[in-house]
A and B are shown apart, each in its own frame.
Chain A
């Protein structure tokens, strides 16, 4: 698959970010082309969610730039950042639905906060978005009555309600049963194509993500270790990428956490 890398929507350049004295990102460069589904993959704890927060402006990089639609996020004023966020949707791992209001009100929430639209128009918009994710019938349910997959679909409807330019998905497939997983995989791709969005999926579910991604970036130890189309990644010569894609328990990423000599540890007696 050819990807037009001239029309870059998000440009991440030499980003460095540290937390707790550890560099989460140490010179990361990522280009996300407009209109594509791009997956950011990597083992747990590599800072994939942190990357989404950097793109959304919730965190600021210690060095480097994050540009979204030509605007450097870290230099924007709060007002401009909030204006830009209205064009961004984000789907949190938990769904992040407001637990004290029902599904309908959750989807209507951004409209009520940012517009003075008449109630009938809000109703039409909310029902259209709920219909798109297949949950119009669940509009009066409370978030506590939804399954994990349904909560994420409601969160997706809410993220879509402002017709954003892009959507960021934080681990959308984690903990889903096969049917919910299939529904989410289908929705992410079809909504991206139907609405002309740019989608970023942060995930370590290799098979599901590879099905729908146009481009995959693999991150480890604060750097991009590889990137390319899903086919290119599957055929990668890199031992690290092979281990990650095929889910092998041992390889460049060792099975054992670094420790002192095993025999010495056993014979040394209790040290706690």
Chain B
């Protein structure tokens, strides 16, 4: 019993210690951002590596998710003769929920794990120590550009995911299943509110981008500098970032779309 309490205490203390280190790390990153803004080329390079190189997975996933939404919606709504509402169903599902959430999950798996592995390997191969000894702050030079790159890329990717999903829905619902094109677009336009739906989706994606990238860079920077340490850190990034996305999504949805 005493041993169990002891190990529970150890785990709890370890959790809060890591949480504290993560927050100190975040403050250190934020402190370097004003001077980093004077070197936009570093940020642009990361937007390319994190954002542009994630485009293919986002485009393909968005297209299929949009098509599936259209198909599932059609199968249900056709019984009520309400297939003209499919445009609204697809667009609201995507811009409110699936766009930000699925993009964040894909982003954690594709870009987050790559960020952790890259920073972790730089630590393991003494590149970060080498920078420190060259009087270059690795948080400013390596971490902060990736952090900003992630925060910028994530809402853009989520927007592209939603747009391509809506297009996927259109291709299936209108072109394949024969729903009227005018109904699809007009219902979408009528039921989707810019502030209530699109802006809230964008806010969600910015929050997810912030948290996922923060977890990814922290796990990389804090990892044990060995092959096993980098591997564990990469796994932790994907697991923690995915759970954080889903948890935060519930919280944000409750705040944004609920009247409770």
Contact = CB atoms under 8 A, between A and B. Distances in A.
Contacts of B137: 82
A92 interface: yes
Contact of A96 (B130, B135, B141): B130
Given A92-B126, A96-B125, A96-B126, A113 B136 contact: yes
A96 B136 CA distance: 14
Nearest to A168: B133
Interface string A66-101: 000000000000000011011011101110111100
Contacts of A149: none
A98 B141 CA distance: 12
A56 B134 CA distance: 10
Interface string B107-145: 000000000000000000111011011111100010000
A22 interface: no
Interface of chain A, main secondary structure? mixed
Contacts of B125: 94, 96, 99
A113 B35 CA distance: 12
A98 B133 contact: no
Interface residues of B, number: 12
A217 to B, nearest CB: 21
Contacts of A90: 130, 133
Q: Which of A88, A96, A99 has the most CB of B within 10 A?
A: A96
A98 B134 contact: no
Contacts of B132: 56, 58, 85
A113 B129 contact: no
B130 A113 contact: no
Nearest to B132: A58
A114 interface: yes
B12 to A, nearest CB: 22
A109 interface: yes
B134 A92 contact: no
A109 B135 contact: no
B136 to A, nearest CB: 5
Interface string A93-133: 11011110000000001100110000000000000000000
Interface in A36-86: 53, 56, 58, 82-83, 85-86
A85 B127 contact: no
A77 to B, nearest CB: 13
A52 to B, nearest CB: 9
A98 B126 CA distance: 9
B63 to A, nearest CB: 32
A18 to B, nearest CB: 19
B133 A113 contact: no
Contacts of B130: 90, 92, 96-98, 155
B102 to A, nearest CB: 30
B129 A114 contact: no
Contacts of B126: 92-94, 96
A113 B127 contact: no
Contact of B134 (A83, A93, A109): A109
B220 to A, nearest CB: 15
Contact of A56 (B133, B136, B141): B133
A21 B17 CA distance: 19
Contact of B133 (A85, A94, A97, A109): A85
Nearest to A161: B134
A133 B136 CA distance: 23
Contacts of A94: 125-126
B120 to A, nearest CB: 13
A83 B137 CA distance: 12
A88 B141 contact: no
Nearest to B140: A113
A110 B134 contact: yes
Nearest to A170: B126
Interface of A: 53, 56, 58, 82-83, 85-86, 88-90, 92-94, 96-99, 109-110, 113-114, 155, 158
Q: Which 7 interchain pairs have the tightest Cβ spacing?
A: A96-B130, A96-B126, A85-B135, A82-B135, A90-B133, A92-B126, A110-B134
Interface of B: 125-127, 129-130, 132-137, 141
8 contacts: A58-B133, A82-B135, A90-B130, A92-B130, A96-B127, A98-B130, A99-B125, A113-B135
